[in-house]
A and B are shown apart, each in its own frame.
Chain A
């Protein structure tokens, strides 16, 4: 324990270190690392707020700039962009129902509903507070348990990932609050859409119909912008005059005492779940926010409020995704394995600075390692300090008449989607998904389960086929006693399915009963 605090102290000293910097011929003594951290989180917040512009492209563009910096300063800044984008992403999700990152899809569900009821302030504050708390806890987890947790992560092979994905998909059904069958059907439709593109196992192009732009599949951002963003704009425009001003009553900025009481337990549970899932390099962090939302909806006393603006539905997923974002540094720092594209870029950044990522970083360059961890905590603190006062400004944005707001949102979405691969086709797809989303809404089918299916579909198929290849076609590999983790997930999936299906069935029987009478 003492060692940990000693190490963290090394880190904090590194972060707050004063350095002599020469700018434009003038030499100044500045806490340079902290300034880089601030620049990182500011930039991250900006690109997080802008829909479609993700941290991957931004970090890639900034890489050449970081070469002239010391390694620690460069890494602190890049990491800041990553978690700053997480904060910024929730802002857009809550204010205008636009999930720029897969992790903020669930934040849309209740966050946006809160905003529509004039409670955008508390929703944003909850997101910031939850994220901050989760960030602090997860930073400690990284500092204390990184190496043993990395060993746990290695226990996850294709079979375990497949079972985890099954559990995740069952959980996806809970995201909808309407018909159960339709929710399941939407999940499957999402799974199918996720399969478009090059098949990992055989290299065959599937469902691309000769369109070379579709050879790499459909991007998440394209689908999310279409089904949430475009669809929402159309839905708002069809209501006559109703939404000229987004919301007339802005309400209080900060959460009430009651709100605070309600968010404590969800934040704790979300943090726990997010920290656990974040360490899995094969897509665990993707599930963090979804899992946390499902968990809350099932255990909360206010579960009937979910989907209509429950504060728990913002607190839990926001803490989970931030915790996951922090702990996803564990496989990177201890094994040298990146868990997502941003982490892969961090590896690139480290290597270009002449550092081989992996466990030896901790022993060979303790200042760098612990400095980075300390900077995560400092960065989270900065973000919460930065974001709480910003809430007032964001809320003012909501009082802008909708006829000004929507062309701007549309323009930013179009720019963001276009920038993914610099071709018009993605915008065309976005419009198609907008149409699909609009039809779905009219038919009483909710888009959130589809999006989760879309994210998990390729991962699920990949792992299923890989597990079957590795086991030479033995279907028992998922439930054999030698794979307790996989078996556990599948059992949990069955239990969850029963829990979900029972009330729905009961309700139906009652309704049939009533009709017969």
Chain B
């Protein structure tokens, strides 16, 4: 028994000593990639793709671990409060970094102070789709229709406080229209109700809406990014629509995005090494193709500093938007 005790103490001491790695040696043991959502979603899929790629370039296993709960807060908190040694990464997204801080009354982490943002991985445009029955063929007609029938049009969304919901609220605000928000549990049932004509319009992310658009089950009126999407080159941007008719829509730019973050005090060298590894993965043609097929254009933001300032500017935009939309959780 005593010998066992000695062994345990020795082992513990050894592990303590080993827990302080120099950045040169990082990584010396397997990494954990926290996915703050249940297995199977787009963030989860891209995390698994990334994990496989990182494993190749870092030479250590990268294990994705799903820690769903509280709109992603649980998983992000876990990473934010883990030792800042670069061994716990988290898939951080627009919801957990920019929207939830104002949506939830209290959040167990500060998206800017508790986390070091490493690399932006995916940026998916949102697309404004309308039911086929709706007579509006473009944004101008849609706004006119909404103004002629105030409170009669319904817009669906994947959940309260989702980018789809907030984009809708933003649209209402800048065009001065009034429409009723109908929240769903995920965008699939909302799409089904749109195909049947029960819900009139919706801002959905391109990846989930694309099959229905291609099948002519719903009609795409505009994308919400500054530039047109390669997937729907014939569909104008809201910004373009703003230039032509609805001035309020100028500069409309809302994408769904996610990337990788680590705990705030992670050494700079580790962050840079990790960022370089992720960028290398993103430049690999096969990985690029996979992400593209999920609707993501390659993000232009790449370095940790660019990502961090992007996060803080998005946080500002969405704090304002959530406040105006009146959405609240908790």
Contact = CB atoms under 8 A, between A and B. Distances in A.
Chain A directly contacts chain B within the complex, with at least one CB pair under 8 Å: yes
A466 B182 contact: yes
A282 B189 contact: yes
B21 interface: no
A336 B154 contact: no
B211 A421 contact: no
A57 interface: yes
Interface string A282-305: 100000000000000000000000
B183 A67 contact: no
A340 to B, nearest CB: 10
B212 to A, nearest CB: 6
B188 A421 contact: no
A81 to B, nearest CB: 13
Given A60-B45, A61-B39, A155 B73 contact: no
Interface in A390-435: 421-423
A212 B69 contact: yes
A203 B290 CA distance: 32
B192 interface: yes
Contacts of B215: 335-336, 356, 358-360
Contact of B330 (A60, A204, A345, A348): A204
B192 A337 contact: yes
Contact of B39 (A60, A64, A352, A470): A60
Contact of B40 (A153, A204, A344, A354): A344
A354 B65 CA distance: 26
Interface in A355-385: 356-360
A151 to B, nearest CB: 9
B212 A64 contact: no
Contacts of B286: 67
Interface in A273-287: 281-282
Interface in A188-225: 198, 200-205, 212-213, 215-216
B235 interface: no
Contact of A213 (B42, B69, B180): B69
A157 interface: yes
B68 A421 contact: yes
Nearest to A213: B69
A341 B42 CA distance: 12
A359 B215 CA distance: 7
A265 interface: no
Nearest to B181: A469
Contact of B44 (A60, A336, A466): A60
Contact of A348 (B42, B189, B195): B42
B173 interface: no
A157 B67 contact: no
Contacts of B66: 57, 421-422
B160 interface: yes
Given A201-B160, A344-B188, A358-B214, A421 B69 contact: yes
A356 B211 contact: yes
A231 to B, nearest CB: 26
Contacts of B185: 200, 462
A423 B67 contact: yes
A270 interface: no
B182 A63 contact: no
B74 interface: yes
A59 interface: yes
Interface string A324-360: 0000000100011110010011011001111011111
Given A203-B161, A466-B182, A422 B67 contact: yes
A466 B191 CA distance: 14
B313 interface: no
Contacts of A155: 196
A352 B292 CA distance: 8
A59 B211 contact: no
A157 B192 CA distance: 9
Contacts of A63: 45, 48
Given A154-B192, A203-B327, A466-B182, A216 B42 contact: no
- Centre residue among A154, A337, A344 by max chain B CB count within 10 A: A337
Contacts of B294: 348, 351-352
B182 to A, nearest CB: 6
A158 interface: yes
Contacts, number: 158
A250 interface: no
A415 to B, nearest CB: 15
A200 B159 contact: yes
Contacts of A436: none
A337 B183 CA distance: 17
Interface string A63-88: 11001000000000000000000000
B26 interface: no
A421 B67 contact: yes
A370 B200 CA distance: 34
Contacts of A254: none
Given A212-B73, A359-B215, A64 B188 contact: no
Given A421-B68, A466-B182, A345 B192 contact: no
Interface in B135-186: 154, 159-161, 180, 182-186
Interface string B274-295: 0000000000001001100111
Interface in B35-78: 38-42, 44-45, 48-49, 51-52, 65-71, 73-74
A419 to B, nearest CB: 9
A281 B183 contact: no
Contacts of A345: 40
A344 to B, nearest CB: 6
B69 to A, nearest CB: 5
Contacts of A61: 39, 48
Contact of B211 (A200, A212, A281, A358): A358
A67 B68 CA distance: 25
B217 interface: yes
B298 interface: no
Interface in B291-314: 293-295
Contacts of A202: 160, 328
B19 interface: no
Contacts of B198: 157-158, 470
Nearest to A153: B192
- Centre residue among B159, B188, B212 by max chain A CB count within 10 A: B188
Contacts of A353: 293
Contact of A158 (B68, B193, B212, B217): B193
B91 interface: no
A281 B188 contact: yes
- Centre residue among A202, A336, A352, A469 by max chain B CB count within 10 A: A336
A57 B69 CA distance: 16
18 contacts: A56-B39, A61-B48, A64-B51, A67-B286, A157-B193, A158-B193, A158-B198, A200-B184, A201-B160, A203-B330, A282-B192, A337-B188, A341-B40, A351-B210, A351-B294, A358-B217, A466-B183, A470-B182
Q: Which 3 A-B pairs have the closest CB atoms?
A: A336-B211, A203-B160, A215-B70
